[in-house]
Each structure stands twice: as C-alpha cells, then as structure tokens.
Amino acid sequence: MGLNYYHIFKRVKEARKLVIKGITAAGSGHPGGSFSMAEIMGCLFYKFLKYDPKNPLWPDRDRLVLSKGHASPGLFSNLAVAGYFEKSEIETLRKLGSKLQGHPDFKCPGVEFCGGSLGLGLSFSLGMALAARIDKKNHHIYTIIGDGESNEGQVWEAAMAASKYKVDSLTVFLDRNFIQQDDYTERVMPLDEELVGDDISEMWKNAARWKVGDKWRAFGWNVLEIDGHRIEQIVKAINTALQVKGTPSIIVARTIKGKSVEHMEDNPKWHGVAPNPQISPIIDLELDCQFLISPSIIAGDMTNLENEVKRAAHGRSDFIHLDVMDGMFVPNKTFDYEKIKQLRPLTTIPFDTHLMINDPVKYVKNYVDAGCDIITVHAEVCDESSFGEIHDVLHSNDVSVGLAINPDTELPVWSEKFIPTLDQLIIMSVIPGKSGQKYIEATHEKTQRIYKFLQDKKFEGLIEADGGVDLTNIESCFLDGARVFVGGSAIIGQKDVRIMICEFRKKLMHARRKLLIQKAHSLGGNDLVNKWIDLHEVGKKKTELLQIAKEAGFV
Amino acid sequence: MTEFADMRTVYGETLIKIGEENPDVVVVGADTTDSLKTKPFGKKFPNRFFNVGIAEANLITIAAGLANEGKIPFASTYAAFLPGRCVDQIRNAIAYPSRNGKNGLNVKMVVSHGGLSVGADGGSHQQIEDIAIMRVIPNVKVFIPSDTISVENLTRIFVQSYGPFFMRLARSKTPIVHSKDQKFEIGKGIVLRDGSDCTIAACGITVQMALEAADSLKQEGVSCRVIDMFSVKPIDSDLLEKAARETGGIVTCEEHNIMAGFGSAVSESISETYPVPIRRIGVRDRFGESARDSEIPLLLEKHGITSIHISNAVKEIRSKTR
C-alpha cells in the first residue's frame, strides 16, 4: 500500500482553505493551531480513522479527540471535507444557532469530545479506552493535545493513569508548535529548554534541547518523534504506534504554528486572531502555491543509487523522483521495480516514480508492490482503457496517479475524464531518456496553457516540471503553474544536495512572494500590498518582501 | 431508640447489587476507595473498577469518557475534593456535553465527608460549599440524603435515570429516619410529619434535628410540618408552595454555608411562588474546625446547627407571622 499522498495532500489544502473561510466569516477563531495540526488531521481523516459520516455514532468507529479544542476550525473543516455536513456550513462558525461552536461541541456530528477547557481530553480518551476494553471492542482512540496545553497538571495525571492501565488502543499526538497564547512555549513554561533570545528557530537547530519526549518516556509511554508536517512521517509513526502493544503511544510532532501561511508561521499573534477579509483571498492563493521538490536520483551515481537516495533524504527533499526507463519507450535503460524494492527501506520519503516504459499497464502492479507512492505513466503509451485500469489499480492501493506528456505531446482527449481525480501531471521539458539536457523554452507557454485548461476542468492535483529545471528557470516554472519540481543535475548532480534544495526553495519562495504581491495589488493596490507585507513580523520576511514589492514598483 | 447506620457501607453494598444487575455500572475511585467502601466492588468486578490515584480531575474526566461510551460510572471520593478539586472537569467534561436530547453525560458523583460533621479532619476537609457549587451547574442534579434508606434508594435511582447526578454522604453513622418501604422520587420532597403552624425543610443530617425540633415544639403546642428535601435540585417547588400556603413560614436546615446552598434554593423557589418568612439554619459563611467524634454536636452547636436553633427559628417566624 502506498501513502495515499495526494489524497491526503489535497484534502489538507482544502481543509486549510475552509479554516480561513470560517474564521474570516466569524471574525474570530484560532488559525495558528488549526494549521499546525493540519497534516496530522489529514493523515487521520483520510488514511486511518474508521468512520461513517452518515452514522456518526457508529459504535465501532475510531474516536478522534481534539483536546486542544480552540483549534476547532481545524477539526470542523475536516469533518466538512469528510462529508459530515455541507462545506458551506463552515461560514456559520461561531455564529448564533450554528452547530459549529467556538470550541468542539456535540452539536456538530463527528465531534467526539467537547473540548475547550484545556487538559481534559487525554483523561476523557482514557475513559473511552477503558470502556472499549470492558466491551472487548477494537476501535482506536486518537487524541491531539497541545504543547501549551501540557502546562495543565491533569495531562500528566492522565499520562500516569494511561500507563498504569497499559492502554494500547490510545495514540496521542502532541502538536509541538512551540507557541501558546501569550508567547513562545519555552518562555511561558518550558517543555524542552528555556528559549534564550527571540529566535524560535534556535530550538529547531539542536535536537539535544528537545526534552518533552523524555518526559513522556519517563511516564512509561512509547514515544515517537517526527516532523508533524511530513505526511510520510506521520503515517509511519501511526503505523508504528498501532503495532505497539501493552503501552500507550505518543507522537511528538514538531510543527509550525500557522503552517503554510507565511505571515502566520511562528508568530504568536496568530494563535487566536482572524484574518482581515481583504487578506483572505491572498491567503487562499498562498495555500494554492505550496511547492514540492523531487530530486531525480538518476542524475547521480547510477552504480550507487542507495547513496543517492540517502543524499536526497539528507537534503530533506519532499519526494524522491525515480526515472524508470526500459530501453524501448526511451533508448536508455535505468532500473526497474526490483531496484525500487531495494531502495524502499532506506527512507520514508514518498517515491515519485516516473515510468518511461512501454505498456505500463502490464507492469504497474509490480511498482505498487515495490513501494511506490506516486506512479506516473506516459500518455503516449496509454489509451482510455489502459489508463483507466492503471488509475483503478493505483487508487485501490493508496498510490497517487500521475500522467506524463512529452515535449511534443499535448494532453490527449481521452485523459479529460480523469482530470478531476488525477493527482499529478508531468509536463516534460526535455526529451525523456537521459539526464543533463537543457530546458526547452517552449514548455513555459505550454505549461501556462495547460495550467489554465486544468483549472477549468477541476484539476485538484499538481503539475510537475521535469527536465532541465534549475535555479535560473525554476521561478518561471512556478509562475507557469508548476508546483512540483524535479531536480536532476541541478540537485543530485551537485556536490551538496541539501544546499541545492535550500536554494531551490528560496527561489520558489521568492516567486511565490512575487505572485502574492501581484495578487494583493490587483485586489487593493499599493495599500493592500503594504498592509499584507506589514503582517510579516517574524524574522526578515518583511524586508525581503518590501524589496520584491519595490522591484515590482508597488511600494 | 433511634437506629444508626453507615451511609458509605450501604452505598458500597448497593453498588455491588446493582453491579450484578447491570454490567454497565463501573466504579472509579481516587485512593479513597477503602473509605468510600467501593473497594469490595473492585474485588467483585475487577474489570469495571478503576483507582486513578490522588487525581480528582482525572477521576472525573475518565468517568466522563466511560459515560460517553455508555457506561454508568460512579465516581467517588471526599466532598472536599469532589467538587472541591474538579469543578471545571464537572462542568466541561460531564455537565456540558449534550447530544440527542440527553443533557450532560451519565456520571454519578457520590461523595462522602460532607459538611462540618466530618469532625477531626478540620476545616480544610469540611466541605460546606458543595451544594452551592453543584446546583449552579446546568444539567446537574443534587441530592443530600438523610439516612441509609435514602442512600440505597437514590443509588438505585441513579442507575435508572440518565444524567449527571451528585450525592453527598455523611462521614459518621446517621440515624434512620425513613421507613424501609419509603418511596423516593427525583424532585419530590418527603413529608415526615404533617403540621399547620410552620414548615421545617431539611436535608442530610439536619433532617433528624428537624424531627427532634418538631417533637419538642409539639410539647409547646406548635404543630410543625417536617419535609426531607433530599432532592435539592430539582427542588420540589409544588410541595414548598403548598407548605408556605398552609403553614405560613419555613425554616430551612443544612450542614452547608447558608449562602447559595439549600436554604437559598428554597428561598428562590418560595419567593417566586408564595412568599412567606423564611429562616435559614446553616453555617453562617465561615469555616469549620477540628472536633473529635464526641465533640461534633458541640461543633454543630457552635455554628448554630441544632434542634434547639431550629425550634428557636420556628418561634421567631411565628412571632413575625402572627
């Protein structure tokens, strides 16, 4: 089974947008903590939880307890996406007569715990788990607690008791976003180590300063520590937790408060403030502009692909791009599923497998079984029927579906019916077959055109730019509409993969900022540009944004 | 001779009986299970018994989680700590959550060591605020039984009726005031003596005092109606109105602060239905202190909670109403 990466990714994005919609309409609410746990929620709702929106109190359902109840928009948005109620209802958030109360409430179907008063959810979950034990039921209980919430002594009362009762049907997430209402957590009440100075990123640099996992270990818990925005890490941690018997598990998920919206990220101010309605459309666009880096390992040492995977992983890439060539669809030959099977244990990072092979329908299951998470096949060697078959095989195995087109190929007419459920479209910008070619300039125009076309056809996936993408053209590729970027010789071919990925991200960030400034300007002229830039209080963001705006002549 | 019996023992025995009848009954304790007499339930039903240690917040919230899944948890410890230590948990984890027309979660909070009659442990442990705290929380029903017959009946009613209930037991043995076949109903007071000159409405251990006061007043030619108002919330407004109309005055008795307690509840009701003079017997807004068992009547006397004080209050009311 794959990660179901895009399935989760798309819904996380949709839920984040609903959070903004709801909070903006309400004029109050908590975006910061809703966004720090967005990927955790996504993995739970769209991969693990067993539930039935038509029968919210189905006795065998898994329970999700949101103990940090102020992040209720982050729960409500996912209940809406999951089908418990109409998405448009999110706009009734916090309004008189709404089922969407300021904090999670049984008035809303799917809510398992009336949260809000902090520190209660874990005890409540333990009660649920003990009841299930009496009844010999096998459902699982997932509980999300906050780091500020962990100031509450009751959290530790519950920690002791859950350990005493050895409840392995309980898995807790600690949303470790380092911010509580007043300030950074390490200043208000340190869970790790007291923060010296103003830079929260200091805490991220030195893992030796992270102590909160040890606290839970001392209480007898199985502790897993992950990056709480990485879908693959969350999925792996949950899978591990589910297999641990005789002890409760806690997943310490290091997260970023306000994640995905630059001006909210790591800023304590956005714990509980609603965005200005003028700003919301810009945030919406920002959420559409999340980008991913997918280094292609064939640009490295073909005799030691294991090492190339490790380099990409060390560089914190989002995907690992695997170019499979069969010597027939393209003249070269690289490797096949047997090799992928060998590489799979090296990392949890999603395998973004690009099949440049004839008759992909014949082999696709082998690649599923080898552990690929995204599989892209070429339009040139598929038709409606074979692609339909591939599409179904991938979906039923939680593998995301990609379609690729060569520089001289347009999207085939038969592909249109698949667009709404397609996860990824690779637009090749070199002739496929070997690494190190130059980007074909005409691809820019082609990508822009296809991007527009896909928007009209309700495409929810991402366009991947593949071929000759480097630091000189990546910004243009982004502005064309691509959101995933394959880096071959420009990343793997370079000495320091980590630095190159950072450079890629910096360029992309620059392009995104430019796009958002343009958006602000189109909505409200220089005034709105300035207003939006002013929101970026943390770090050097504001200075950098002003520079971009100046270059664009907007300030 | 008045017969005395221990409320906690009867509570523990009743729990076992209902535990046999109803597999959903579970018991949660906080290191006071020996004292609350719930330990034998744990021996008999080890899978349905949870001792969470000295952690009352956790006690209440775990009980809420159990109730959410259809169990009927009895959460018990001393009144000083429940509600004293966990008001937020009672409010937000038990009383507030409501769905499908069911108000609050089905947790039964049964505490002992209520009031001044705790004695030797002193003022820190003499809970004189629990009625006030519990009765202002929406959805919570509050019961102050006067004897073991009440305790047994109420414990059974607790299993049969849905909702968050609170019941306060006394530490010491209490005199039996009810007959074995007495029927109990939520929200219904029990008239123990009929009378026409004044009404004494009492709860808990003060019911016996009320009866003694009525007896002595009878000698003086004053006919008192005595009501056991074990159901403090919901309160029997109809019975109180009738008493006010027919006897012209009410004395309330409680082993609790007179502010916001039982007397206040009666006053609130009467002031809206049929206002008559009221005198409240109870702790006059100050803390208690240590007293050995033999000294407990003296402690109560120090706080003005005796049958003599009740008699005097009746006389005072009658001097006003005539």
pLDDT tens readout for residues A253-278 = 999 999 999 999 988 888 889 999 99
Q: Is A94 helix (H, G, I), strand (E, B) or coil?
A: coil
**Residues of chain A positioned with their CB less than 8 A from the CB of B99:** 106-107
Active-site position among B3, B21, B56, B185: B56
- For β-strands A63-66 and A249-254, DSSP reports them as unpaired
Secondary structure letter of residue A295 according to DSSP: E
**Residues of chain A positioned with their CB less than 8 A from the CB of B50:** 130, 165
Q: Does A555 fall in a domain? A: no
Q: Does B96 touch chain A (CB under 8 A)?
A: yes
| Residues A259 and A301 grouped into a single domain | no
As to burial, measured by CB atoms within 10 angstroms (0-12 exposed, 13-18 middle, 19+ buried), residue B178 is: buried
Domain count for chain A, please give it. 2
- Rounded to the nearest 5°, which phi and psi values hold at A298? -70, -10
CB contact under 8 A, B65 and A127: yes
**Residues of chain B positioned with their CB less than 8 A from the CB of A160:** 53, 55
Q: Is A203 helix (H, G, I), strand (E, B) or coil?
A: helix
| Residues A232 and A311 grouped into a single domain | no
The residues spanned by each domain of chain B are 4-175, 190-321
| Residues A378 and A466 grouped into a single domain | yes
**Residues of chain A positioned with their CB less than 8 A from the CB of B68:** 112-113, 124, 127-128, 131
| Residues A243 and A359 grouped into a single domain | no
Measure A157 CA to nearest chain B CA, in Å: 6
- For β-strands B108-111 and B49-51, DSSP reports them as unpaired
Non-local (6+) Cβ contacts of A15 within 8 A are A38, A41, A42, A74, A77, A78, A80, A81
* Per-residue pLDDT tens digits of chain A, which is 555 residues long: 899 999 999 999 999 999 999 999 999 999 999 999 999 999 999 999 999 999 999 999 999 999 999 999 999 999 999 999 999 999 999 999 999 999 999 999 999 999 989 999 999 999 999 999 999 999 999 999 999 999 999 999 999 999 999 999 999 999 999 999 998 998 899 998 877 777 777 777 777 788 999 999 999 999 999 999 999 999 999 999 999 999 999 999 999 999 999 999 988 888 889 999 999 999 999 999 999 999 999 999 999 999 999 999 999 999 999 999 999 999 999 999 999 999 999 999 999 999 999 999 999 999 999 999 999 999 999 999 999 999 999 999 999 999 999 999 999 999 999 999 999 999 999 999 877 789 999 999 999 999 999 999 999 999 999 999 999 999 999 999 999 999 999 999 999 999 999 999 999 999 999 999 999 999 999 999 999 999 999 889 999 999 999 998 887
Nearest to A373 by CA among A504, A233, A508: A233
**Residues of chain B positioned with their CB less than 8 A from the CB of A153:** 57
Residue B62 is nearest to which of A116, A127, A134, comparing CB atoms?
A127
- For β-strands A170-176 and B231-233, DSSP reports them as unpaired
**Residues of chain A positioned with their CB less than 8 A from the CB of B138:** none
- A322-360 b/e with 16+ CB inside 10 Å = b? bbbbbeebbeeebbbbeebeebbebbbbbbbbbbbbeeb
Q: Which CATH class is domain B190-321?
A: alpha beta
Report pLDDT digits (tens) over B51-96: 999 999 999 999 999 999 999 999 999 999 999 999 999 999 999 9
Q: Does A408 fall in a domain? A: yes
Q: Does the annotation count B56 as an active-site position? A: yes
Secondary structure letter of residue A261 according to DSSP: -
Q: Does B144 touch chain A (CB under 8 A)?
A: no
Q: Does A533 fall in a domain? A: no
Nearest to B243 by CA among B186, B188, B283, B194: B194
| Residues A304 and A269 grouped into a single domain | no
Sign of torsion over alpha carbons B271, B161, A129, A85? negative
Q: Which of residues 25-44 of B touch A (CB under 8 A)?
A: 26
Report pLDDT digits (tens) over B207-231: 999 999 999 999 999 999 999 999 9
Which tokens go with B120? 């030797």
- Enclosing domain of residue A464: 289-494
Nearest to B172 by CA among B127, B118, B126, B116: B118
| Residues A228 and A113 grouped into a single domain | yes
CB contact under 8 A, B64 and A124: yes
Chain A residue closest to B68 (CA)? A128
Nearest to A127 by CA among B224, B11, B106: B106
| Residues A214 and A321 grouped into a single domain | no
Measure B131 CA to nearest chain A CA, in Å: 23
ipTM score of the complex? 0.96
Give the whole-angstrom CA distance, residue A82 versus residue A102. Answer: 20
Give the whole-angstrom CA distance, residue A7 versus residue A83. Answer: 15
| Residues A300 and A233 grouped into a single domain | no
Q: Does A553 fall in a domain? A: no
Chain A residue closest to B48 (CA)? A134
Give the whole-angstrom CA distance, residue A431 versus residue B90. Answer: 68
Quick one: chain A helix, strand, coil %, rounded to 5?
50, 15, 40
For residue A433, the model assigns a pLDDT of 81
Query: Of the residues A249, A274, A299, which one is the last residue of a structural domain?
Result: A274
Give the whole-angstrom CA distance, residue A325 versus residue A298. Answer: 10
Chain A residue closest to B62 (CA)? A127
Q: What Å distances lie between residue A407 and A332, A431, A432, B70, CA to CA?
A: 18, 6, 9, 62
CB contact under 8 A, A131 and B63: no
Say if residues A460 and A493 touch (Cβ distance below 8 Å): no
Say if residues A407 and A443 touch (Cβ distance below 8 Å): yes
CB contact under 8 A, A154 and B55: yes
Measure B168 CA to nearest chain A CA, in Å: 24
Say if residues A353 and A360 touch (Cβ distance below 8 Å): no
Q: Does A522 fall in a domain? A: no
**Residues of chain A positioned with their CB less than 8 A from the CB of B91:** 117
Residue B58 is nearest to which of A116, A129, A161, comparing CB atoms?
A161
For residue A203, the model assigns a pLDDT of 73
Print the SS3 string covering chain B. CCCEECHHHHHHHHHHHHHHHCCCEEEEECCCCCCCCCHHHHHHCHHHEEECCCCHHHHHHHHHHHHHCCCEEEEECECCCCCCCCHHHHHHHHHCCCECCECCCCCEEEEECECHHHCCCCHHHCECCHHHHHHCCCCCEEECCCCHHHHHHHHHHHHHCCCCEEEECCCCCEECCCCCCCCCCCCCCEEEECCCCEEEEECCCHHHHHHHHHHHHHHCCCCEEEEECCEEECCCHHHHHHHHHHHCCEEEEEEEECCCCHHHHHHHHHHHHCCCCEEEEEECCCCCCCCCHHHHHHHHHHCCCCHHHHHHHHHHHHHHHC
| Residues A317 and A397 grouped into a single domain | yes
Query: Of the residues A494, A514, A542, which one is the last residue of a structural domain?
Result: A494
Q: Does B89 touch chain A (CB under 8 A)?
A: yes
For residue A196, the model assigns a pLDDT of 76
Say if residues B92 and B85 touch (Cβ distance below 8 Å): no
CB contact under 8 A, B92 and A114: yes
Non-local (6+) Cβ contacts of A94 within 8 A are A22, A26, A27, A28, A29, A100, A101, A102
| Residues A313 and A375 grouped into a single domain | yes
Say if residues B177 and B192 touch (Cβ distance below 8 Å): yes
Q: Does A514 fall in a domain? A: no
Give the whole-angstrom CA distance, residue A198 versus residue A204. Answer: 13
* pLDDT level of residue B322 (50, 70, 90 thresholds): low
Say if residues A403 and A361 touch (Cβ distance below 8 Å): no
| Residues A87 and A192 grouped into a single domain | yes
Query: Of the residues A442, A472, A494, which one is the last residue of a structural domain?
Result: A494
CB contact under 8 A, A116 and B92: yes
In this model, does residue B168 exceed pLDDT 70? yes
| Residues A251 and A293 grouped into a single domain | no
Q: Does B75 touch chain A (CB under 8 A)?
A: no
Q: What Å distances lie between residue A175 and A148, A229, B122, CA to CA?
A: 9, 10, 44
**Which of B25, B51, B56, B62 is the best substitution to test chain A (most A C-beta atoms within 10 A)?**
B62
CATH code at position A446: 3.20.20.70
In this model, does residue B187 exceed pLDDT 90? yes
Q: Which of residues 203-262 of B touch A (CB under 8 A)?
A: none
Query: Count of A–B CB contacts within 8 Å?
Result: 99
B4-175 maps to CATH 2.40.50.100: no
Q: Does A432 fall in a domain? A: yes
Q: Is A352 helix (H, G, I), strand (E, B) or coil?
A: strand
Q: Does A535 fall in a domain? A: no
CB contact under 8 A, B93 and A124: yes
